[in-house]
Amino acid sequence: MRAIRTRPLTGLAVLTLAAVAAVAPLTPTPAAHAADPVVVLSSTFEDGTTEGWRARGGESVTPSTAAAHSGAGSLLTTGRTQSWQGPTRDLLAQLQKGTRYTLSVHVRLAAGEPATRARLSVQRDTGGTAAYDQVVGATPVTADGWVALTGTYTLAHDVDALSAYVETADGTAALHIDDFTLSYVPAKPVQTDIPALREVLADDFPIGAAIGMPQIIGNHATLLRRHFASVTPGNALKWDATEPVEGQFRFADADALVGFAADNGMAVRGHTLLWHQQTPAWVFTDATGAPMTPTAANKELVLSRLEGHIRTVVGRYGDTIDTWDVANEVIDESQADGLRRSRWYELTGLDYLRTAFRVAREVAPTAKLYVNDYNTNVPAKRDKLYALVAQLRAEGVPVDGVGHQMHVNVAWPSIAETEAMLRTFVPLGVEQQITEMDVSIYTDDSQSYPSPPAELLRTQALRYRDLFALYRRYADEITSVTLWGLADDDTWLDSFPVARKDAPLLFDTELQAKPAYWGVVDPSRIDPTPSPTVSPSPTGSPSPSPTPTGTPTPTPTGTGGTGVFSCRVQYAVTGQWPGGFQAAVKVTNTGDRPLTGWTLRWSFPDGQRITQLWNGTYRQEGATVEVGNAAWNGRLAPGPGVDVGFLAGWSGANGRPGAFQVDGTPCTVD
Nearer to ligand XIL, 64 or 279 (CB): 279
Side-chain half-sphere CA neighbours of 639 within 13 A: 5
State the nearest-atom distance from the C-beta of 275 to ligand XIL, in Å: 7
State the nearest-atom distance from the C-beta of 235 to ligand XIL, in Å: 5
Binding flag, residue 323, ligand XIL (CB under 6 A):
no
Pick the catalytic residue from 329, 333, 431, 455.
329
Nearer to ligand XIL, 3 or 420 (CB): 3
Nearer to ligand XIL, 298 or 328 (CB): 328
Q: Which of 382, 494, 477 has its CA nearest to residue 438?
A: 494
Q: Which of 443, 416, 421 has its CA nearest to residue 432?
A: 421
Out of 86, 195, 206, 234, name the contact with ligand XIL by CB under 6 A: 234
State the nearest-atom distance from the C-beta of 241 to ligand XIL, in Å: 10
Q: Which of 302, 330, 326 has its CA nearest to residue 397?
A: 326
State the nearest-atom distance from the C-beta of 171 to ligand XIL, in Å: 26
State the nearest-atom distance from the C-beta of 425 to ligand XIL, in Å: 18
Measured CA to CA, the distance from residue 374 to residue 382 in angstroms comes to 9
Binding flag, residue 498, ligand XIL (CB under 6 A):
no
Pick the catalytic residue from 59, 243, 431, 436.
436
Site string for ligand XIL, 144-173 (x = CB under 6 A): ------------------------------
Cβ-Cβ contacts under 8 Å for 598 (sequence gap 6 or more): 587, 628, 629, 634, 636, 662, 663
Binding flag, residue 242, ligand XIL (CB under 6 A):
no
Nearer to ligand XIL, 75 or 486 (CB): 486
CB atoms within 10 A of CB 160: 11
Strands 116-126 and 129-141: antiparallel
**Alpha-carbon dihedral sign for residues 353, 356, 362, 368:** negative
Say if CB 653 and CB 541 are below 8 A apart.
yes
Binding flag, residue 2, ligand XIL (CB under 6 A):
yes
Total chain residues near ligand XIL (CB under 6 A) = 8
Task: List b or e across 101-120, with b for residues whose CB sees 16 or more CB atoms inside 10 angstroms.
Answer: bbbbbbbbbbeebeebbbbb
Binding flag, residue 235, ligand XIL (CB under 6 A):
yes
Binding flag, residue 239, ligand XIL (CB under 6 A):
no
Q: Enumerate residues 325-384 that contact ligand XIL by CB under 6 A.
A: 328
Out of 251, 352, 471, 492, name the contact with ligand XIL by CB under 6 A: 492
Instruction: Please confirm, yes or no, whether 455 is among the known catalytic residues.
Output: no
State the nearest-atom distance from the C-beta of 280 to ligand XIL, in Å: 15
3-state secondary structure of 582: strand
Site string for ligand XIL, 542-571 (x = CB under 6 A): ------------------------------
Instruction: Please confirm, yes or no, whether 329 is among the known catalytic residues.
Output: yes
Q: What is the DSSP string of 141-192?
A: E-SSS-EEEEEEEE--S--SEEEEEEEESSS---EEEEEEEEEEPPPPPPP-
Nearer to ligand XIL, 274 or 662 (CB): 274
Measured CA to CA, the distance from residue 255 to residue 278 in angstroms comes to 19
Measured CA to CA, the distance from residue 569 to residue 143 in angstroms comes to 69
Say if CB 38 and CB 183 are below 8 A apart.
yes
Measured CA to CA, the distance from residue 365 to residue 370 in angstroms comes to 13
Binding flag, residue 3, ligand XIL (CB under 6 A):
yes
Q: How far is CA 337 from CA 354, 385, 476, in A?
A: 17, 10, 31
Nearer to ligand XIL, 279 or 603 (CB): 279
Strands 323-328 and 368-373: parallel
Phi first, then psi: what are they for 217, rounded to 5°?
-130, 160
State the nearest-atom distance from the C-beta of 472 to ligand XIL, in Å: 24
Q: How far is CA 129 from CA 1, 126, 347, in A?
A: 20, 5, 35
State the nearest-atom distance from the C-beta of 584 to ligand XIL, in Å: 37
Nearer to ligand XIL, 164 or 483 (CB): 483
Binding flag, residue 405, ligand XIL (CB under 6 A):
yes
Q: Enumerate residues 425-484 that contact ligand XIL by CB under 6 A.
A: 436
Nearer to ligand XIL, 180 or 412 (CB): 412
Q: Which residues bind to ligand XIL, rule: CB under 6 A?
A: 2-3, 234-235, 328, 405, 436, 492
Active site positions, annotated = 329, 436
